Structure 1
Amino acid sequence: MTGEGERQEPFWPLHGIRLGTPDLELHVMTEADLEEVWQALPPDLELDPGATSYEGLGGRGNRRAVVAQGYWHAFGTWSPKGWALPFVVRREGRVIGGQWLEGPEWAADRTVDSSSWLVASSRGKGLGRQMRGAVLELAFGSLGAVAAVTSAYVENAPSLGVSRGLGYRETHTSVLEHNGRRLQHLRMEAAEWREAGHGAPVTVQGVAAAMPFFGLGAARD
């Protein structure tokens, strides 16, 4: 039993991870966040094209289903061998975006990927860079990742600008089968991240209890 005034530890230790930047707070998404996330989800966000579509729900209902099932799938299939960690991004208490950090082959290569979205009113203000920088500091600092990769459509200048500004290097392009659009792929090594110093303004809390879920024996933060 938790006494009065004591902080209760989250049932799922991953939910205790908190990241902070000069303007933003990021915490691992919970079911209680889903309604706010649905309400904030921008209409121009392209969701998983392979997700199940439910006849009779309509476009908005299906988008809500994709978000909810993506959340449940992330934690329901979690493994130290490969994982996906969704964060809710808040500014002054309001949900303004979502940021995912993924280690699809984590046990094998210690490499992370990322994806994100922002509400339209929060774009062009440097917040996308802060969001990405927060999860990269978690990855390279606390989790000991050796590299980070990312990708974006070649015409998505804002996303590619964030990646280049944080130190990613372009590696190659590919074409998506489902829509024929071209992706630019980028990569950054841990040493490049540390040398650039972009993680300095980021605070990372609550990682120690979650380390076994990443296959790591002790916290590095």
Structure 2
Amino acid sequence: MRHWPLFDLRLTTPRLELRLPGPDDLDQLADRALEGVHDPERMPFFVPWTDLPSDELGGEVVRYQLGVMSRWRPEQWSCNFAVAHEGRVIGVQELSATDYAVTREVSSGSWLGLRYQGRGLGTEMRAAVLHLAFAGLDALTAVSDAFTDNPASLAVSRKLGYRPDGLSVQARRGERAVQQRLRLDRADFACPVPVRITGLEPCLPHFGLRP
């Protein structure tokens, strides 16, 4: 797409393809959300979007993803990749930044359909966007966070070389919850899987960078 080359950006790993979602991908993301993302007794997200009633959740997933794309600006962007595995979209991997041309720092977030968890796919998809950040976009640092009662997310961060960067306290479902901040320097990142990036150069201005 000449005026929105981001639709042609692809990250490919041995098991996954990451791409901006099209209409069919959005439908599949809504299906994965409705099938379940986490144990209902737990809430891994700061914004408890999975608490929505099932008759609202699917549409909200689609509206949210379209809104993220519509708000993209070079000075403040969020690249929400649909993650495809064996021909099926299984979750979302986000990479975002503010004033990236100056800060060279990215943050990440993700979710994965419940039945696709526990296979190392979460590590692989975050490794893909970190490779994009450090090798493709010349990032210097990457940050993330997770509630301290979310051991799976914290384990992914440890595997990829993040270090603790302090704690914060949030209100979650009306209760106190502690969040662990994490930071990764470029020198500490060793990508655990091969990642192929295609279609990046025409996208660079949209990330606030010169081709």
On whether the aligned pair clears a TM of 0.5, the verdict is yes
What amino acid is the match of 1:205? Answer: T
Indicate the SS of the match to 1:65.
Answer: helix
Could you say which residue in structure 1 is the equivalent of 2:136? 142
5+ residue gaps in structure 1? 1-8
Alignment partner of 1:182 is 2:174:
no
CA RMSD for the aligned pairs? Answer: 2.2
Please tell me whether residue 93 in structure 1 is matched to residue 87 in structure 2.
yes
TM-score (norm 1): 0.83
Residues 109-138 of structure 1 show CA distances to partners (whole Å, capped at 9, x for unaligned) of 121111111122211111110000001111
What is the alpha-carbon distance in structure 1 between the residues aligned to residue 76 and residue 26 of structure 2?
23
Please tell me whether residue 14 in structure 1 is matched to residue 6 in structure 2. yes
| 1:42-121 matches, cutoff 5 A | 42-44=35-37, 49=47, 59-121=53-115
Residues in 1 aligned to 2:101 and 2:68: alpha-carbon distance in whole angstroms: 17
- Measure the CA separation in 1 of the matches of 2:59 and 2:98: 23
Q: Could you tell me how far apart the structure 2 residues matched to 1:100 and 1:175 are? A: 23
1:205 maps to what in 2? 198
Q: Which has the higher strand share?
A: 2
SS at match of 1:128: helix
Closer, same or farther: CA 10–125 of 1 in aligned 2, 3 Å? farther
Question: Does the CA-based 8 Å contact 1:81-1:108 persist in structure 2?
Answer: no
Going from structure 1 to structure 2, the CA distance change for 1:169 and 1:105 (only over 3 Å counts) comes to same
Larger Rg: 1
Point out which structure has higher relative CO (alpha carbons under 8 A, 6+ apart): 2
State the one-letter code of the partner of 1:117.
W
Q: In the aligned structure 1, how far is the partner of 2:28 from the partner of 2:94? A: 16
1:214 aligns with 2:207: yes
